[in-house]
């Protein structure tokens, strides 16, 4: 790494008062994107999809995670495992689209076949036509590459490098903070999931999500009942950051109906709600009656797919009376989250200005964003030079 890039990172890693933001190359440059892909996305626990993408045993779903072909599999026992979506023979991509498999995963090229636990089951004609064994083909050594997988709040997390601590350790501070919500959460169904295809680097979505400074200008509607002074910063350096509110109000339906609360919550949650980014790429909301997750799927330095998914304390199938409210809630959140899109796309455009120096943080208002930048800077520094 060149001296200039190192000096830039040193500025990012300082205390917020003196720090600069990450410079332009972290948003527009392919080589930096690839370094961050490995250091930030692959070496940590990142979200790639939902358990409800593959609801039934035998369901498989391919995911392009920052260019890496992955395959989410729900086996016949109902457990989820992620594999590299690449055949061990000649490297063919195994599965192109979501489907349900009753038996094996058959490679579309020469039909090597894998069990849903990834083990290699059949190698047709590998020793010549009609001869399916060969002493040099050791099936035990040729299973699909397993990716460390953990499911939390129905989000499928992966640690691609296999070098991170367990997910529960990695996210322990957040699990502790939100321990009261460690209870079943149910996806609201098709209306409760919507994607945005956004022309920005994935980090800009994180940076915007974890600060409340922009609320009065970007979400004036939200601001009318959620004033800036009712918000507080959430900062857990090295792990997550975000914002909380003290004046959360439940959405109410035409007939006065409300969503049922999660069980046994303390009084704080009557009007408290928290919006946190678990680094690197999962933006979460926790509230008394529902929550959501936004999974950022980077598509290149300047393009990101945002998957927005809303979860409830109850199984929507059991409450047809709340169907209209679930729809109304989706429309409302979609509206709010859409208001952020021109901002993140605008910051992306702004980063093509060659004199932009990473920007100046407000020590009072921008510190959660700086917590994220410092995490990025620290991780990159440690990867380049070891933990110094």
Partner 1 sequence: MSIPDFEKYNQLVLDLFEKEKFEELACLYLEWGKRLLALGKLDEGCFFLTQGYVLALEHGMEEAVEIYEILKNHERED
Q: By the criterion CB under 6 A, which residues form the site for ligand FES?
A: 87, 89-90, 92, 107, 109-112
Residue 99 in the binding site for partner 1 (CB under 8 A): no
Q: Of 128-136, 156-164, 316-324, 370-378, which segment contacts partner 1 by CB under 8 A?
A: 128-136
Nearer to partner 1, 69 or 124 (CB): 124
Q: Please give the angle made by the CA atoms of 116, 122 and 128, to the nearest 5 degrees.
A: 160
Nearer to partner 1, 93 or 219 (CB): 93
51 vs 149, 150, 286, 323, CA distance in Å?
A: 11, 10, 19, 22
Give me the DSSP letters along 286-329. E-SSEEEEEEEEEEETTEEEEEEEEEESS-GGG-GGGHHHHHHH
Nearer to partner 1, 131 or 247 (CB): 131
340 binds, among Fe ion, partner 1, ligand FES, none (CB under 5 to 8 A by kind): Fe ion
130 binds, among Fe ion, partner 1, ligand FES, none (CB under 5 to 8 A by kind): partner 1
**75, 104, 145, 250: residue in contact with partner 1 (rule CB under 8 A):** 104
Q: Are strands 105-106 and 113-114 parallel, antiparallel or unpaired?
A: antiparallel
Distance CA 49, CA 211 (A): 25
- 3-class state of residue 90 by DSSP: coil
225 binds, among partner 1, Fe ion, ligand FES, none (CB under 5 to 8 A by kind): none
Residue 283 phi, psi (nearest 5): -105, 125
122 binds, among Fe ion, ligand FES, partner 1, none (CB under 5 to 8 A by kind): partner 1
Residue 131 in the binding site for partner 1 (CB under 8 A): yes
Residue 132 in the binding site for partner 1 (CB under 8 A): yes
Distance CA 259, CA 61 (A): 31
Position of minimal CB gap to Fe ion: 340
What minimum distance in Å lies between the beta carbon of 63 and partner 1? 22
**102, 136, 176, 179: residue in contact with partner 1 (rule CB under 8 A):** 102
Distance CA 374, CA 380 (A): 10
Task: Give the position of tokens 């579309």.
Answer: 108
Buried b (16+ CB within 10 A) or exposed e, 290-305: bbbbbbbbbbebbebe
Residue 98 in the binding site for partner 1 (CB under 8 A): no
CB of 34 within 8 A of CB of 301?
A: no
What minimum distance in Å lies between the beta carbon of 84 and partner 1? 20
Question: Site for partner 1 (CB under 8 A): how many residues?
Answer: 18
- What are the residues whose beta carbons fall under 8 Å from the beta carbon of 50, sequence distance 6 or more? 154, 155, 156, 187, 193, 293, 295, 307, 309
Distance CA 132, CA 136 (A): 12
What minimum distance in Å lies between the beta carbon of 42 and ligand FES? 24
What minimum distance in Å lies between the beta carbon of 73 and partner 1? 14
Q: Of 1-9, 22-30, 100-108, 183-191, which segment contacts partner 1 by CB under 8 A?
A: 100-108
**89, 93, 139, 173: residue in contact with partner 1 (rule CB under 8 A):** 139
What minimum distance in Å lies between the beta carbon of 60 and ligand FES? 16
- What are the residues whose beta carbons fall under 8 Å from the beta carbon of 171, sequence distance 6 or more? 45, 152, 239, 278
What minimum distance in Å lies between the beta carbon of 134 and partner 1? 10
Residue 121 in the binding site for partner 1 (CB under 8 A): yes
**2, 129, 264, 320: residue in contact with partner 1 (rule CB under 8 A):** 129
Q: Are strands 99-100 and 59-65 parallel, antiparallel or unpaired?
A: antiparallel
Q: Are strands 240-245 and 231-236 parallel, antiparallel or unpaired?
A: antiparallel
Task: Give the position of tokens 């460390």.
Answer: 148
CB of 350 within 8 A of CB of 356?
A: yes
Nearer to partner 1, 112 or 170 (CB): 112
258 binds, among ligand FES, partner 1, Fe ion, none (CB under 5 to 8 A by kind): none
121 binds, among partner 1, Fe ion, ligand FES, none (CB under 5 to 8 A by kind): partner 1
- Site for partner 1, rule CB under 8 A: 101-106, 111, 113, 121-122, 124-125, 129-133, 139
């Amino acid at each position: 790494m060149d001296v200039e890039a190192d000096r830039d990172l040193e500025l990012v890693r300082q205390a917020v008062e003196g720090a600069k933001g990450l410079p332009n190359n972290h948003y527009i440059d392919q080589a930096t994107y690839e370094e961050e892909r490995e250091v930030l996305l692959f070496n940590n626990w990142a979200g790639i999809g939902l358990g409800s993408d593959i609801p039934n045993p035998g369901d498989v779903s391919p995911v392009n995670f920052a260019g890496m072909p992955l395959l989410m599999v729900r086996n016949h026992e109902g457990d989820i495992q992620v594999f590299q979506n690449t055949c061990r023979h000649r490297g063919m991509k195994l599965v192109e689209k979501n489907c349900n498999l009753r038996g094996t995963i058959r490679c579309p090229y020469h039909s090597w076949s894998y069990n849903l636990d990834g083990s290699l089951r059949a190698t047709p004609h590998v020793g010549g036509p009609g001869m399916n064994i060969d002493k040099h083909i050791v099936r035990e050594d040729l299973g699909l590459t397993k990716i460390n997988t953990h499911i939390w709040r129905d989000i499928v997390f992966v640690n691609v490098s296999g070098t991170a601590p367990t997910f529960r350790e990695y996210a322990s501070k957040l699990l502790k903070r939100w321990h009261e919500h460690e209870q079943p959460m149910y996806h609201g169904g098709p209306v409760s999931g919507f994607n945005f295809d956004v022309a920005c680097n994935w980090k800009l979505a994180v940076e915007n999500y974890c600060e409340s400074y922009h609320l009065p200008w970007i979400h004036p509607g939200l601001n009318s009942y959620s004033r800036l002074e009712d918000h507080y910063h959430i900062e857990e350096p090295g792990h997550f950051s975000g914002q909380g509110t003290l004046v959360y109000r439940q959405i109410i339906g035409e007939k006065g109906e409300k969503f049922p609360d999660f069980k046994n919550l303390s009084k704080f949650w009557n009007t408290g709600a928290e919006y946190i980014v678990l680094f690197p790429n999962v933006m979460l909301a926790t509230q008394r009656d529902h929550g959501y997750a936004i999974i950022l799927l980077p598509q290149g330095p300047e393009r990101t797919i945002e998957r927005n998914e809303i979860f409830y304390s109850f199984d929507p199938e059991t409450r047809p009376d709340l169907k209209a409210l679930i729809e109304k809630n989706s429309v409302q959140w979609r509206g709010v989250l859409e208001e952020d899109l021109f901002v993140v796309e605008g910051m992306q455009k702004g980063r093509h200005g060659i004199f932009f120096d990473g920007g100046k943080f407000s020590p009072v208002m921008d510190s959660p964003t700086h917590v994220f930048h410092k995490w990025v800077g620290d991780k990159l520094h440690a990867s380049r030079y070891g933990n110094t």
